[in-house]
Structures are given as C-alpha cells and as structure tokens.
Chain A
Amino acid sequence: MTEPKNKFGRRDLLRKGALGAALAGVAGTAAYLATRSAHGGTVWQLDPEKCVQCGQCATYCVLDPSAVKVVHAYALCGYCDLCFGYFPPGFEPEAGFETPAAECQLCPTGAIKRRWIEGPHFEYTIDETLCIGCGKCVKGCGAFGNGSLFLQVRHDRCLNCNECSIGAACPAGAYRRVPADNPYLLKGEDKKA
C-alpha cells in the first residue's frame, strides 16, 4: 500500500494546484480590498436625532469613563437661567443667579459649568474630563429646552473598536459608522461645518 515518497503523484499535483489557486484568490481579494481602502475608513458616531438618553453610553463603552460625552451646540442654546439640563426637575433656584451647590445640579459629576453672561442669560460649558456621558442633561434639555445639549462619541478618546459595544447595546439603534474625515453628527449651525 505504501507509495514511494519522492514520487510526484496525482495528490501532489492537486495540492500544488490548490495552493496556487488559493494564493491567487487571496491576492485578488487583497487587491480588491485595497481599492476600497482609499478613503481612510470609518469611525463610530451616534445620531443625536435618534438618541433616547437611556444612559447606556456611560456604562457600555470599553473605556471608563466612556468615550461618549455631552457636547453643546451653543448656536441652539437659549441660555436659560432655569436650565433643565443643569437643574434637576422640580428645582427652583431661590438664590437667583448664584451658582448652586453640587447637590442642586442635575449632573452627577458636576461637569456642566454655569456662567452669567447678561440679563437672564447664562452660558453652560461642559468640562469633558468630568463628563461620564450619562445623558441626564441631554434628557432635561431635550424635554424642556432647545435640545442644544447632545451626546457625541469624542474621537480624541474613542478607540474605534471593530464593533462598538455601546452601539451593539444601543436600544434606539443610534450608532452608525461615519466617514473618518467627517466624524461628528452635530446639531444646529455646527451641522454644516
């Protein structure tokens, strides 16, 4: 039953042929893929129009704190003195324009800074080092205000995982791949930029 080992048999021919075919196939696939790679790939972003502020952006990211932060479209902001993204529901600022204590703020980490501008108008800025992306302020602003606060994947932190683990868990299907050269889905006037 034993075949002489040095004989170049039918099976070797098949194997050599298959090897050549496989190499050609891999090379062909790689060449085709190379034509699809010219545009710098994609990154993850969440569509603020679809976001329902469920709070999972804060917990599902592989980073802790999350790569998702709240951003502020100043062009949309009403600069309200009673900001529902800043104060918890039902809160009445009795001390007027003063900056309230942390327990009177909606943000669990006190990441939103409030600064008086003029008249009844206050500017709200976000300290991204404190923001955990829970979206509580987004919910408040969206329910009673102009919706100028919204969540975005911040690309100075995002690791661009192959499958975004927040995106996989997002109950609203708000995450999608966007071109890396235009990686934000902004609201308001910044939208055009």
Chain B
Amino acid sequence: MKRPSPLRHLIGSCAAGLRTRRASARPTRHQRGGSGDPPRKGWAIVAIVLALLAATTATAAERVALPQFKSGYERPSTEVPPPLGHFYDVMDGLALVVGLAVASYMAIRARSRRGMWWLALVSLVYLGFWRGGCLCSIGSIQNVALALFRGEYITPVAIVAFTLPLVFTLFFGRTFCAGVCPLGAIQELVVIRPLKVPLWLDHALGLLAYVYLGAAVLFAATGAAFIICDYDPFVSIFRLLPLRRPGDAMEALGGSANMLIVGGAFLAAGLFIGRPYCRWLCPYGAILRVLGRFSKWRVTITPEECIKCRLCEDACPFGAIRRPTEPLPRGTRRIERRRLAVLLVVVPAVLAAGAGLGWWLGAPMSRMHVTVRQAERVHLEETGQVEGTDNLSDGFYNTHRPREELYAEAKAIQAGFARGGLILGAWVGLVVAAKLIQLSVRRTRTDFEPDRGTCVSCGRCFAYCPIERERWKKGAGGEKKP
C-alpha cells in the first residue's frame, strides 16, 4: 500500500485493507495532519506538551499528545476485577469425592445397577450440564504434564481431579467411569441397542487411547496445546444447555461447531456401540485400564456359583466379559511359548521403530505450537517467499522483538518436539508390544468374568445374572429389581 496524502482517502483505504503491512498502515500524526487536512484545533498546543510527557510516560512515542486538563479532570484508572472465587472448586472436589464413594458403594457393596444409573444421571446433570464438563479428570492429565515437565503451577482442584479417581480405581476398579465421569455418563445413558464389536477390533482400537494419552502429554509438555480439551467431543454438547447461567447462553455455536458435530456423531454411534470414546480414545481411561488390573476389590458378576448361562456376556455392551477358557489342545502350549519368545525378542525392534517414527514426526507435530508457526511465517516473509503479512506475523511484529529471538525460541520448541516425538514413538511401540504379549499370554478362567481393565463397573452383568436375581428374591441384595 502506498501512502496517500489526503486523510479521507487514507482512512477509506485502511478500512479496506488494515491487514496490510504495519509500517504503511500506521501513518504518523504528521502524515495525517501534514497535507491536505487541517490539524484539529487544540492539537497544536497539545503537541508542545508532547515532548514533556514523552519523557514521563512508559510507552513508546504517542501519536496523539496526551492532554493536560485545566478543569481539574482526573484520568480514571483501568478497572481490574479479580478472578472468580474458589466456590465451585470446593463444590467440584466435594462432588468428586461423594460421587466416587457412591459409585464404589453401588458397584461393590449394594451391587445396584439402578443406583449406578441414577448416579450417572446426577453426574451428567451436575458435572456435565451444570459445570460445563470442566471438572475433568481426563483433561487434568495435561495440567499434571505442565507441572511435571514445565514446572508450571497446578491448581489444587486439578490435583484432586487427577489423583482421586486413580486411588479409587486401585481399590474398587473403574467406578469413576461408571457413574462419576460426565463423559462416561452421557454415553452410558444413550446405549440403546449395543452391537458386539469383534474382539480383535476392540483390542486394536483400544490402543488408540494410549497413543492419544502419549500425544496429549507431549503437546501439553511442550506448551503447544491441550488437545484433550480441544478435541473433547461432549463438552460442546454440555454447553448447549446453559443450566448454570440461563441468561447467558454458553457456547454459542461459534467456536466449536465442528466439535458439536463430532460430539453428535459420537452420541449417534453410542446408540449402537457402547461407550466408543471411553473404550477407544479416553486417555484417562487408558491409565485406569492399567490400574484397574491391580484393584483390590472389583465388580463380580455373582458372588455365588456361575451357571455359565452367558446372559452377562450378552448384557455387557462394552465387550468386557471374558469367557471361561477351554482346556488346551495337545501341543498348543509349545507353539504359544515359542510365539511369546519371538515377541519378547522383537520388543526392542518395535520400540526402536516407534522411536524413529516419532522423531521423524517431531517437526510436523511442532507446528501445533503457535510460536513455531509464527517463526515459519515470519521467515517466509523475511526471505520474500510470500507477499504481505498475516495475523500470525502481525502478532509477532506488534511485539517489536528481533526475528532472531523468535527463531531461537522456535528452534528450542522444535528440539523439544524431536525429543518428545522420540519418547512418544517409543511409548507407542511399547504399547503395541505390551498388547501383543498380553494377548499371547494364556489366562485360565473357570467362570465368566469381567475383564479387570476393560470393565467400567456399570453393573449390567449382575443385573442380568439369573443367580443374582434369585439371590435378590431371597432378599440378600436388599433390592427388589435390578
């Protein structure tokens, strides 16, 4: 853009193209008043004071001189309201403790499917629709990563949200998923006609959650993004119903229409596939799946003898019931042993392959960080490969920092991503290898049992168990109907 002299022409063209290069889009006071347009009255006097004030004010040269008031007018100061209080933090923490306690009681002691259903509904209404899904143990992984890898501060409520469900899972199994987590609850309540997902597919897709977990930690630890929050499918649905602030509709479609569509798709899929997000994507669920294997107590289908009617297996929408194992055919054991030995030998190779792939992907992944994108854009502009500026580079030029500083910063971030990508890749390799080994180790089961890791303690299996129903009829369960 050239510099037109008449004021009106200048303004008109600026209105059309304010995004053009800063140097030309910002005329000085002299250009504006200098030619064509007479200076506004009073500015001449004011200009004299400019030199005096320039020495005293903190900011760089003012375009318009700061007036001195004779009428005794005092400049107001800028209001700075403090952040909202911690009322909801305390409420959320309490809700989490109470919810976990009730869920564990329903799953282990009361063995009440109905109780669990109601708890899920309450959690969905409070943690989901009322609080907008933002007491989020799933998202807290990222806050923990920030604190661990970048030494940033973490709020007490994030610590509670992260650790408390872990502790409860170690004692009672994944009761958090069953009735407390609002993301689990919304999927729990829409399961209408669950279809069986083939076991191999279930196992394979389940690995995605570990990849997602690794990626979430990487992006949080490099300060690039909180991808769990960015790509949370249900938060946009929670925010559609503005329960907490009825006059103040949250989440106008603006920012996250895409995620609303994704959330709707997850819910629609959830009609036929039980908890797709929990089983295959949830990064916190991935942690709980591991910890759930060691839990002290857990959901049992019936405390009495299993009659192997398979009703529980059909009732479980999440494919978490494992069948009793059949006796081994002769000679299979040797084959299985050899397979396991081969797998153990190739584990290092899988890890190395993953690490290499991750390292290679480090550079493209680093573009998630805004500083890297900014540096790339500024570099393109500096070397004349692109014309003009965009929002990204303008954001940098506004800071008046030297380019080299930005480049150095971006380099450091990219190096972090190369390191992190290496670790992420090795992690993915480890997960794949561990899965293969887990699948090749034979477990012996005499009864139908919930899988310790996959079971979310929803309670459908014991609600459908005929032995359990008999027990209830005798009054043992203290509940008439499941």
Write the residues of chain A forming the contact surface with B, with a CB cutoff of 8 angstroms.
Answer: 1-3, 15, 18-19, 22-23, 26, 29-30, 32-34, 36-43, 47, 49-52, 54, 59-64, 71-82, 84, 88-90, 92, 117-121, 123, 125, 139, 143-146, 154-156, 158-163, 165-166, 168-174, 177, 179-180, 183-184, 186-193
Partner of B239, one of A62, A72, A82, A144: A62
Q: Does B458 reach chain A (CB closer than 8 Å)?
A: no
Give every chain A residue within 8 A of B69 (Cβ-Cβ).
Answer: 117-118, 121
Give every chain B residue within 8 A of A15 (Cβ-Cβ).
Answer: 293-294
Give every chain A residue within 8 A of B250 (Cβ-Cβ).
Answer: 62-64
Nearest CB of chain A from residue B58's CB, rounded to whole Å:
6
Nearest CB of chain B from residue A54's CB, rounded to whole Å:
5
Name which of A49, A123, A143 has the most chain B CB atoms within 10 A of its CB.
A143
Q: Considering only CB atoms, which chain A residue lies closest to B11 in the complex? A: A89
Q: Does B391 reach chain A (CB closer than 8 Å)?
A: yes
Q: Ordered nearest first, which 10 A-B pairs have the shortest CB separation?
A: A172-B395, A78-B64, A173-B370, A163-B229, A171-B391, A163-B226, A156-B81, A120-B42, A41-B155, A60-B255
Q: Does B332 reach chain A (CB closer than 8 Å)?
A: no
Give Cα A162–Cα B137 distance, bound, in whole angstroms: 11
16 contacts between A and B (CB under 8 A): A19-B294, A23-B167, A29-B144, A37-B153, A49-B399, A76-B57, A78-B63, A78-B65, A144-B11, A145-B64, A146-B63, A146-B64, A161-B134, A163-B139, A173-B392, A173-B395
Write the residues of chain B forming the contact surface with A, with a CB cutoff of 8 angstroms.
Answer: 8, 11-12, 14-15, 18, 25-27, 32, 40-43, 46, 57-59, 62-67, 69-71, 73, 75-84, 132, 134, 136, 139-140, 142-144, 147-148, 151-156, 158-159, 162-163, 166-167, 170, 225-226, 229-230, 239, 248-252, 254-256, 291, 293-296, 325, 327-328, 370-371, 373-374, 390-392, 394-396, 398-400, 444, 446
Give every chain B residue within 8 A of A71 (Cβ-Cβ).
Answer: 78-79
Give Cα A154–Cα B81 distance, bound, in whole angstroms: 7
Partner of A89, one of B14, B159, B239, B254: B14
Partner of A2, one of B139, B328, B444: B444
Nearest CB of chain B from residue A95's CB, rounded to whole Å:
15
Is there contact, CB below 8 Å, between A121 and B14?
no
Q: Considering only CB atoms, which chain B residue lies closest to A81 in the complex? A: B40
Total A-B pairs, Cβ < 8 A: 252
Name which of B64, B152, B254, B391 has the most chain A CB atoms within 10 A of its CB.
B64
Partner of A117, one of B73, B154, B373: B73
Partner of B152, one of A36, A59, A144: A36
Is there contact, CB below 8 Å, between A155 and B14?
no
Is there contact, CB below 8 Å, between A161 and B229?
yes
Give every chain A residue within 8 A of B63 (Cβ-Cβ).
Answer: 78, 144-146
Is there contact, CB below 8 Å, between B64 and A40?
no
Is there contact, CB below 8 Å, between A80 and B64?
yes
Give every chain B residue within 8 A of A89 (Cβ-Cβ).
Answer: 11-12, 14-15
Q: Considering only CB atoms, which chain A residue lies closest to B147 in the complex? A: A36
Is there contact, CB below 8 Å, between B153 and A72?
no
Give every chain A residue within 8 A of B57 (Cβ-Cβ).
Answer: 75-76, 188-189
Give every chain B residue within 8 A of A78 (Cβ-Cβ).
Answer: 46, 62-67
Is there contact, CB below 8 Å, between A162 and B67?
no
Is there contact, CB below 8 Å, between A19 and B444?
no
Is there contact, CB below 8 Å, between B398 and A52?
yes
